[in-house]
Amino acid sequence: MTVQDKLQKLQTLFAQMERALIAYSGGIDSTLVAKVAFDVLGDQALATTANSPSLLPEDLEDAQVQAADIGIPHRVVATHEMDNPHYTANPVNRCYFCKSELYDTLKPLAAEWGYAYVVDGVNADDLHDYRPGIQAAKERGTRSPLAEIGITKLEVREISRLLCLPWWDKPAQPCLSSRFPYGEAITVEKLRRVGQAERYLRDLGWSTLRVRSQADTARIELPAAEITAFVQKTNLAQLVTAFKNYGFTYITLDLEGFVSGKLNQDLSLLSSLP
């Protein structure tokens, strides 16, 4: 099946829904869902972004700009996963509690506003990764059009480029809580300093990156091919000073390089789940 075929199936799926509320983060997956939903349903599609301390302010701004560019109606709602000790304790299934909060917020709003369906941006590849949030979404009746049709991450980018979306190659940007090793408690202050550190690096021109936080240590991840240029071009003394001002004591560079989902490499703790 070609990407054009899959796009047509996606359009047909939304036509059958008639009205849909999209859980819209501003990432490329949910943005494609929002774009196709709006193209098919017009104002009967609504993009809704959850705002919390785990979302960078600039990511919220990006979501707002992209929604305006698409033309889809857009609302921002607050979620309160940080009030849940099961979430802030940061167990290996932390995302289950995050998505539970998200869809426990969106589902009643969808009913109040007259939307029969809540949909997300989960793609077919996500089903083969460790994503406990997917179970929380399923339990609450959320649909995943991309996964239902079998659209992979690569095809999301291909279809986005086909539709002339300028952010088709936008790097993935998971929530800031993903920067902490499982078992380390998450606080608003820790999220803030990670966000500040990543913003500092982006302002220097580095786009694909993570700042992993472990206790008082910041570990910078960049693509392996960019590490040499980073060391040569960056004023490391200024960087260290900035990161210490954010609250870190130690600042390190991961020589393995950027690996998406690196903290999922060791999931031996899964056996301890009930």
Write the CB contacts of 169 (distance below 8 Å, at least 6 apart in sequence). 157, 161
Percentage helix, strand, coil for the chain under 3-state DSSP, each rounded to 5: 55, 10, 35
Write the CB contacts of 80 (distance below 8 Å, at least 6 apart in sequence). 52, 101
Per-residue pLDDT at 129 exceeds 90? no
Q: In what order do the strands lie in the sheet with 217-221?
A: 210-214, 217-221, 250-253
Tell me the pLDDT tens digit for each residue of 181-212: 999 999 999 999 999 999 999 999 998 999 99
- Domain co-membership, 43 together with 128: yes
Overall domain count for the chain: 2
Q: Number of helices (H) and strands (E) in the chain: give both, helices first.
A: 11, 7
Distance CA 48, CA 23 (A): 5
- Domain co-membership, 156 together with 21: yes
Q: What is the pLDDT of residue 266?
A: 57
- Domain co-membership, 127 together with 93: yes
Q: What is the pLDDT of residue 31?
A: 96
Q: What is the pLDDT of residue 171?
A: 84
**pLDDT-derived band of residue 263, with 50, 70 and 90 as boundaries?**
low
- Domain co-membership, 195 together with 70: no
- Domain co-membership, 114 together with 216: no
**pLDDT-derived band of residue 130, with 50, 70 and 90 as boundaries?**
confident
How large a percentage of the chain has pLDDT more than 90?
Answer: 87
Per-residue pLDDT at 267 exceeds 60? no
Mean pLDDT of 247-252: 98
- Domain co-membership, 69 together with 193: no
Mean pLDDT of 113-135: 93
**Contact indicator for 152, 123 with CB cutoff of 8 Å:** yes
Distance CA 88, CA 187 (A): 7
- 274 belongs to a structural domain: no
- Nearest CA to 88 out of 101, 78, 97 is that of 97
- Domain co-membership, 8 together with 111: yes
Per-residue pLDDT at 268 exceeds 70? no
The enclosing domain of 235 has a CATH number of: 3.30.70
- Domain co-membership, 158 together with 185: no
- Domain co-membership, 151 together with 187: no
- Of 127, 162, 197, which closes a domain? 162
Q: What is the pLDDT of residue 194?
A: 97
- 269 belongs to a structural domain: no
Tell me the pLDDT tens digit for each residue of 65-85: 999 999 999 999 999 999 999
Write the CB contacts of 138 (distance below 8 Å, at least 6 apart in sequence). none
Write down the pTM of the prediction: 0.89
- Domain co-membership, 155 together with 37: yes
What is the distance in angstroms between the CA of the first residue and the CA of the last residue of the chain? Answer: 40
Tell me the pLDDT tens digit for each residue of 219-244: 999 999 999 999 999 999 999 999 99
Tell me the pLDDT tens digit for each residue of 18-53: 999 999 999 999 999 999 999 999 999 999 999 999
- Domain co-membership, 242 together with 110: no
- Domain co-membership, 79 together with 201: no
The enclosing domain of 36 has a CATH number of: 3.40.50.620
Tokens 């349903």: give the residue: 41
Per-residue pLDDT at 273 exceeds 60? no
| C-alpha neighbours within 13 Å on the C-beta side of residue 71 | 11
Domain region containing 191? 176-264
Q: Which amino acid is at 264?
A: N
Which sign does the torsion angle of CA 239, 241, 247, 251 carry?
positive
Q: Which amino acid is at 147?
A: A
Distance CA 125, CA 244 (A): 38
Which DSSP symbol is given to 255? T
* 94 token code pair: 């932390």
- 271 belongs to a structural domain: no
Distance CA 265, CA 262 (A): 5
Which class for 61: exposed (0-12), middle (13-18), buried (19 or more C-beta within 10 A)?
exposed
- 273 belongs to a structural domain: no
Element (H, E) at 95: helix 94-113
Cα–Cα distances in Å, from 208 out to 155, 169, 174, 180, 225? 20, 11, 12, 18, 11
Tell me the pLDDT tens digit for each residue of 133-158: 999 999 999 999 999 999 999 999 99
Q: What angle do CA 135, 138, 142 make, to 5 degrees?
A: 135
Tell me the pLDDT tens digit for each residue of 76-111: 999 999 999 999 999 999 999 999 999 999 999 999
